[in-house]
Amino acid sequence: MLELKNVSYHVTKDGADVALIDEITLQVPHGHFMAIVGPSGCGKTTLLKTIAGLNPESAGQLIWEGRDLSRDDDFSPLEIGYVPQFSIAYDPLTVDESIEAVTRLRVRTASNQALDARIDRVLAETGLDAIADRQVKVLSGGQKRRLGLAMELVSNPKILLCDEVTSGLDPRSERDVVNLLHDLSRKNGRLVLSVTHSLAHLERVDSVLVMHEGRIAYHGPPNQLCHYFSVNDSEEIYPKLATQEASAWHASWLKHREHYQNKLERQRFALLDSGELLEPAEADGARSLDLPGFFSQMMTLLGRRWKIFYRDRTQMLLQLAIIIAFPLLVTLFSEKASGNIRRFSDTRQTNLMAEIQEQQSVRGDQAKVGSAVSGIIMFQIILLSLMGSNNSAREIAGERSIFEKEKFGGLRPTAYLASKFVFLGILVVIQSLWMAFFVDAFGAFRGDFMTHAIFLFMANAAMTSICLGISALMRTAEQASLLSIYLVGFQLPLSGAVLALPEVIEPYTQPFISAYWAWSGSVNALQQQVHHAVKSVVDTNMAASDTGMWILAIHLSVGLLAGWLGTRRPHWD
């Protein structure tokens, strides 16, 4: 049984304390299907999130099977299912693949046969077996709602919370989903709570909770609803609610509550006697299940991410275009960087004019080659920084709703972040090494090539990591992309490689500019003569290679730390 005792949830708005739900008291037994209805903004979804533990109650008690959730542990991820209004599946995957992935993330199975049996059971239970091979992106609204339910049923939860799962559906699809919820409430004594704005098909529910301005206006059998509100049709209830303050409706409900609760009890006994409703069964219940381990979750996420990547043609073409086009852009300037730098003559010129001409010629070579080499190195680093931003700016923020839902279902944030780290790490290795070897093939790096390649890799990895951290901290993909673009845009002017920074600013900005450290390390790896040529045209001091490597490693670590903090912090809308 689920019991709420004077549960309230308050927020601060404009300096004032506002009760979004106010002293909710009710009892909901096992095997019960309850609809939570009311006008927009009355607190329906807030109540559902408070029951789920997403909103910490400000006062009162939430009791589940005799356990005080307000004081003891919350629901186990395996005993509760939460179906939000938004889609919780990836469009490129099929129905079967979506359910398989979420099963692997939520339930530890003994064998592949047990896994397949669980998936087949859920597909049959929700009527999705006939379209198991269909991609999510081609499903109808009603089919997507069924898929959302199926993905929660893989752990056979004892309590199922549904938030507006029938909104936006045509009448037939809405009826089908309501019938499915009714049937689900009759299996293993499952308790189903469904938030809805619609007052259609209430005859299929066991009880209706009507809310008004965060308070209970009615909770009882659906066939008594019109009688209680003195209306002829259920569509007249919302206008009737607006005729009185919430406090008046709540006071009226308290006066008549016992009468309607008795009706609900008699109705439940009748269902038990008829055999339509059974007591909760422990077989295959949530208590017999365990969550998968860290490595299992990480590998499931990694496999799913690669599958989505391969099927997203737009993303694939963009990655190929970047990998091919960016190195080609760099090679356009490689010819100037390969020029000779004449040395000063070992013998002193007897002709002063000849000596001046020789000095001018050598310095001209130095300026031409040094400027080209420095520019090409920085160009490579900036392009790889742009790749890093493109890699990860939307990686977490773009799938925020799905991640938060899976985290609620037992996904470890560390497993999620580790899967991103491995996926992006492979992209970084491919991009960086291809850039280094491709450009070197058209104009050999004039120094220690491996050191240069490592610094290119570190520049890409550091920017990818920082942008991944930004993606984890931002609420939306648009915010993360915009901030990441600004970050890349500031790399070139604040690196000091093109124009030396004012001495007052330089010590405060350069520690945060990964392009500066990668550029310095690569320049230090040049042949001595080429290194002097670069120094002759650049006023900015260059850091030691070891220092640059350590700073880039710190950047990478800071990005991962930000990602860890962002994935642990809840971002529910």
Domains, the chain, with CATH or none: 2-79+184-283 (3.40.50.300), 81-156 (no CATH), 294-333+369-568 (no CATH)
The number of residues making up the chain comes to 573
Q: Which of 205, 206, 121 is nearest to 166 (CA)?
A: 205
Distance CA 5, CA 378 (A): 64
DSSP three-state, residue 333: coil
pTM equals 0.89
The pLDDT, as a whole number, for residue 531 is 81
The pLDDT, as a whole number, for residue 388 is 94
Using DSSP, how many helices (H) and how many strands (E) does the chain show?
A: 21, 10
Distance of CA 48 to CAs 193, 212, 251, Å? Answer: 8, 15, 23
Distance of CA 138 to CAs 97, 131, 169, Å? Answer: 14, 11, 15
Count the Cβ atoms, other than its own, within 10 Å of residue 109. Answer: 18
pLDDT of 326-336, one tens digit each? Answer: 999 888 877 77
Angle, CA 431 vertex, CA 426 and CA 434 arms, to 5°: 120
pLDDT of 341-396, one tens digit each? Answer: 655 444 555 565 655 555 565 566 667 777 888 888 889 999 999 999 999 999 99
Angle, CA 409 vertex, CA 278 and CA 565 arms, to 5°: 160
Distance CA 330, CA 103 (A): 46
Distance of CA 499 to CAs 127, 153, 366, 375, 475, Å? Answer: 66, 61, 18, 12, 36
- Strands of 67-68's sheet in order across: 16-28, 2-13, 59-64, 67-68
Q: In one letter, which amino acid is 226?
A: C
The pLDDT, as a whole number, for residue 363 is 63
Q: Which of 479, 472, 473, 451 is nearest to 549 (CA)?
A: 451
**321-331 residues labelled b (16+ CB within 10 A) or e (exposed):** ebbeebbeebe
Regions of the chain where pLDDT drops below 50: 282-286, 344-346
Alpha helix stretches (DSSP H) within 409-544: 413-442, 449-473, 477-489, 491-495, 506-509, 514-524, 528-537
Distance of CA 470 to CAs 69, 284, 298, 464, Å? Answer: 34, 41, 21, 10
Enter the tokens of residue 207.
């009880």
Distance CA 529, CA 446 (A): 10
Q: Are 127 and 326 in contact (CB under 8 A)?
A: no
DSSP three-state, residue 555: helix
DSSP bridge pairs for 16: 13
